């Protein structure tokens, strides 16, 4: 009999039950959760680090601001009413009969009433004042305080900003503190951009929904969905691309920013960061700069209608550009005012009064990155001796320079007008030019042009055009002689006759410009008429190296080639170096380094560096006096005489023309009682200009001096110098009433013994030593 199977053993086995898809997904999620959380934490941590590093570090790279010299106004200063009004225009003053704010004025014929701006210089602060000035005959005749009625002895105007040294992004801003912002500015921002600013945590869903409703009701974009914090994040940290990833970063960073910092810190950063316009390549950031750019006012002086316009720009300064789309921005400004009323920030009547105003923006807000590029180039070079490039583009330094904007204006006009006239008779390639003007007493550079186009930022000819200086070198030769009064005086007889100078492998045969020989001539006459032959003979007697030493003592550090032609000006110098040479002559033998900077100040107003006058006596004052007297004669009766037909002869200038071989370069250097100027005319390809110094450069110099100079040149005679009447042809003593008599200076005891009289035969001249071996 078979055994009976149990029911259990005989039952078929069921397959194992598989887990559900949900359970599998759940387990997978549980598995990934630590990794996801770690990634999220890493992402948030990374964003947190980015937020803190920039917000707690140096938030902005602030460009250095460069200012011109401050105009000083006093009774007797050289301004007519139109010239002073031009100056106010350069300072962005507005016409306003009420003088309602600083930087406003009203002109009444030859009288101007104006309200200055307060300004902190490196040495003291100048307060805002209401003043009245009257003008007559090209000068200030009255300057008084409108509040006290008392005369003002001296007014130092705030200086014009002439440029900045920008970082690569070319962002510009004027930083303000939160307490400087008008209350109406904050209210306008809350009304149009973020009504719930103090309640949300960086991102506001309620704000997004409310913006949709308000915009629909207003029929235009009055509010944005992003909070002020999100807008700050977009401007401060992120690029302008529109992607979901960037939006996620914006939200996360806004939450972090709100959690890390106070609302006041965030709001202050927003006021300084927000982009509000474009001025050429300069980006206008922040309400501090925008108030100056659009209205020429400090932010504290803005009225409600100004503030509403600035807030209008937050949504898009190019779209709501008040200069390109005035009707569009006016409509938006008024919508913002209406929203301020709707949200209870201002009464209806206040909004209505603000709506009644026009846009009220300044006519020309543009401020070029560099108004005077050649001068700014010099400023940068002088600063780089003391400061790193990154200091100039990121530390917000305030740099006060020596430039006089009025002098610069006259210089540019003189160059352009004269070059245009000269070009009419020249080949199609236009002439180029460079010029430098300094204050005679201090060496401060008050005007500088590196090209005929004042806005050219290319090759700076004033600093880098190295050309032969021609007869500008002759005063160096004659000064070298006059420093040896035992051998040479102003009346020493020189031979202006043909000379052959032996040079290795050849002979040098110099000639006079007129191709004539003038025989025996007094030293002063040889210089006054720029005789080449007499100069070469004199220079060879002195020694070429000796004259080069004099050149170095006059402040020129560049080495020169010691060849005989150096005596006629083959020295290669820039206009700036020539200006240094003649500045020493104009300063009575004191080397006065030319400077373009007065002071450097930190953003907080601390004086970092003062560039004072640094002089040293290098040449005997008596010898320089003798030479300068002869340079005045150059202007009275020599090669510089044509200038006196263009400028007042009463200025009694001193100077020297310079012309190089084949008429390639036209030079002039000269000075009056208050200014020194050097002008060069030439071609960039070094082709002939067809101009002598008198035919070209002298014309520009005379035109500029006519416009700016008011002080005649009065040389101070040293105690050991006496004035003696001599015969201009023969060099002997003469009577004052003789037709050929001229009064000249001599070191005591060196005046000629012989008497020429009026046309009589002179007594024999004592022989002097010569060095014939050099000829």
Instruction: Report the distance separating Cα 630 and Cα 71, nearest Å.
Output: 34
Q: 465 Cβ partners below 8 Å, 6+ apart?
A: 434, 459, 574, 575, 680, 682
CA distance 121 to 125: 6
Question: Tokens 């200014």 appear where?
Answer: 675
Q: Using DSSP, state whether 401 is helix, strand or coil.
A: strand
Which one is catalytic: 193, 273, 395, 633?
193
**CA 29/CA 213 separation, integer angstroms:** 40
Q: Which residues contact 382 (CB under 8 A, 6 or more apart)?
A: 595, 596, 597
Give the H/E segment covering residue 161. strand 161-165
Report the distance separating Cα 249 and Cα 25, nearest Å.
29
Please name the helix (run of DSSP H) or strand (run of DSSP E) that holds residue 480, with its range, or none.
helix 474-482
CB 62 within 8 A of CB 396: yes
Helices in 261-347 by DSSP H: which ranges? 263-273, 286-295, 304-312, 326-342
In the numeric block, which tokens belong to residue 329? 């921005």
In what side-by-side order are the strands of the sheet with 432-439?
445-449, 432-439, 675-682, 666-671, 654-659
291, 312, 471, 728: which one is catalytic? 471
Q: Are 672 and 710 in contact (CB under 8 A)?
A: no
CA 482, 487, 489, 492 torsion-angle sign:
negative
Neighbours of 549 (CB within 10 A): 13
Give the closest residue to 615 by CA, choosing from 641, 592, 596: 592
Main-chain phi, psi angles of 668, to 5 degrees: -155, 140
For residue 401, the cross-strand partners are 597
Q: Could you write out the three-class secondary structure of 221-286?
A: CCCCCCCHHHHHHHHHCCCCCCCHHHHHHHHHHHHHHHHHCCHHHHHHHHHHHCEEEEECCEEEEH
Largest CA distance in the chain: 182
**Distance (Å, whole) CA 611 – CA 378:** 15
Distance of CA 11 to the CA centre of its chain: 105
471 given a catalytic annotation: yes
Cβ–Cβ under 8 Å, residues 361 and 310: no
DSSP state of 136: E
* Residue recorded with tokens 């002598």: 692
What SS3 class is residue 234?
Answer: helix
Q: Quote the CA–CA distance of 607 and 614 in Å, as a whole number.
A: 19
Eight-state DSSP code of residue 721? E
DSSP type of residue 763: P
Closest by Cα among 71, 76, 75 to 89: 71
Picking from 497, 570, 488, the residue whose alpha carbon sits closest to that of residue 532 is 497
* Nearest-10 Cα torsion for 383, 384, 386, 388: 120
Instruction: Give, for 283, the enclosing helix (H) or strand (E).
Output: strand 282-285
Q: Which residues pair with 680 in a beta bridge?
A: 434, 667
The number of angstroms, rounded, from the C-alpha of 736 to the middle of its chain's C-alpha atoms is 51
The yes-or-no answer on residue 193 being catalytic is yes
Which residue, among 671, 737, 758, has the nearest Cα to 708 in the 3D structure? 671
CA 199 to chain centroid, in Å, comes to 48
Q: For residues 56 and 261, what is the distance between their CA atoms, to the nearest angstrom? A: 10
Q: What is the DSSP letter of 677?
A: E
- The residues that are catalytic are 193, 471
């Amino acid at each position: 009999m078979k055994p009976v199977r149990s029911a259990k053993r005989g039952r078929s086995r069921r397959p194992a039950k598989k887990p559900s898809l949900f359970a599998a997904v759940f387990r997978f999620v549980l598995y990934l959760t630590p990794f996801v959380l770690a990634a999220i934490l890493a992402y948030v941590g990374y964003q947190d680090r980015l937020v803190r590093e920039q917000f707690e570090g140096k938030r902005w790279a602030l460009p250095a601001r460069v200012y011109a010299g401050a105009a000083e106004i006093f009774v007797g200063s050289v301004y007519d009413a139109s010239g002073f009004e031009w100056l106010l225009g350069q300072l962005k003053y507005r016409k306003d009969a009420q003088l309602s704010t600083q930087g406003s004025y009203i002109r009444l014929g030859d009288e101007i009433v104006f309200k200055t701006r307060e300004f902190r210089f490196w040495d003291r602060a100048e307060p805002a004042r209401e003043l009245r000035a009257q003008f007559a005959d090209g000068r200030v005749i009255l300057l008084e305080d409108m509040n006290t009625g008392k005369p003002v002895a001296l007014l130092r105007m705030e200086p014009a900003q002439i440029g900045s040294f920008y970082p690569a992004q070319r962002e510009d801003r004027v930083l303000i503190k939160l307490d400087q912002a008008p209350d109406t500015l904050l209210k306008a921002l809350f009304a149009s951009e973020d009504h719930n600013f103090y309640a949300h945590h960086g991102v506001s869903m309620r704000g997004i929904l409310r913006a949709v409703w308000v915009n629909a009701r207003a029929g235009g974009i009055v509010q944005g969905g992003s909070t002020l914090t999100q807008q700050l994040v977009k401007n401060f940290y992120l690029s302008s691309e529109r992607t979901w990833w960037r939006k996620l970063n914006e939200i996360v960073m806004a939450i972090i920013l709100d959690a890390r910092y106070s609302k006041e810190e965030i709001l202050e950063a927003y006021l300084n960061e927000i982009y509000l316009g474009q001025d050429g390549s300069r980006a206008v950031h922040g309400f501090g700069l925008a108030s100056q750019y659009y209205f020429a006012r400090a932010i504290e002086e803005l009225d409600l209608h100004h503030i509403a316009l600035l807030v209008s720009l937050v949504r898009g300064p190019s779209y709501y550009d008040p200069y390109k789309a005035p009707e569009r921005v006016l409509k938006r400004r008024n919508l913002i005012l209406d929203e301020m009323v709707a949200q209870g920030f201002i009464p209806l009547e206040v909004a209505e009064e603000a709506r009644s105003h026009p846009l009220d923006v300044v006519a020309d807000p543009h401020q070029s990155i560099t108004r005077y590029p050649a001068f700014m180039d010099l400023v940068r070079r002088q600063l780089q001796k003391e400061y790193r490039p990154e200091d100039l583009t990121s530390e917000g330094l305030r740099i006060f320079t020596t430039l006089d904007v009025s002098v610069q204006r006259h210089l540019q006009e003189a160059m352009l007008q004269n070059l245009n006239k000269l070009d009419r008779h020249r080949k199609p390639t236009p002439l180029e030019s460079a010029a430098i003007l300094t204050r005679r007493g201090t060496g401060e550079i008050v005007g500088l042009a590196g090209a005929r186009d004042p806005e050219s930022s290319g090759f700076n000819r004033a600093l880098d055009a190295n050309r032969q200086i021609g007869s500008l070198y002759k005063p160096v030769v004659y000064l070298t002689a006059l420093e040896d009064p035992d051998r040479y005086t102003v009346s020493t007889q020189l031979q202006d006759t043909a000379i052959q100078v032996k040079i290795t492998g050849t002979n040098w045969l110099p000639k006079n410009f007129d191709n004539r020989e003038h025989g025996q001539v007094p030293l002063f006459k040889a210089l006054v008429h720029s005789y080449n032959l007499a100069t070469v003979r004199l220079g060879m007697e002195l020694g070429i190296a000796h004259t080069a030493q004099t050149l170095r003592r006059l402040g020129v550090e560049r080495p020169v080639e010691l060849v005989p032609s150096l005596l006629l000006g083959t020295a290669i110098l820039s206009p700036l170096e020539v200006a240094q040479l003649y500045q020493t002559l104009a300063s009575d033998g004191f080397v006065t380094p030319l400077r373009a900077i007065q002071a450097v100040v930190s953003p907080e107003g601390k004086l970092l560096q003062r560039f004072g006058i640094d002089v040293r006596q290098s040449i005997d004052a008596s010898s320089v006096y003798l030479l300068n007297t002869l340079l005045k004669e150059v202007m009275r009766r020599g090669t510089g005489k044509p200038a006196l037909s263009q400028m007042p002869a009463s200025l009694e200038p001193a100077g020297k023309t310079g012309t190089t071989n084949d008429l390639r370069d036209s030079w002039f250097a000269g000075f009056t009682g208050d200014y020194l100027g050097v002008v060069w005319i030439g071609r960039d390809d070094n082709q002939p200009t067809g101009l002598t110094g008198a035919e070209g450069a002298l014309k520009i110099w005379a035109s500029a001096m006519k416009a700016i100079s008011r002080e005649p040149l009065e040389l101070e005679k040293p105690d050991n110098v006496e004035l003696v009447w001599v015969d201009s042809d023969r060099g002997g003593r003469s009577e004052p009433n003789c037709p050929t008599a001229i009064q000249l200076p001599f070191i005591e005891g060196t005046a000629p013994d012989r008497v020429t009289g009026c046309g009589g035969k002179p007594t024999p001249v004592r022989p002097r030593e010569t060095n014939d071996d050099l000829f």
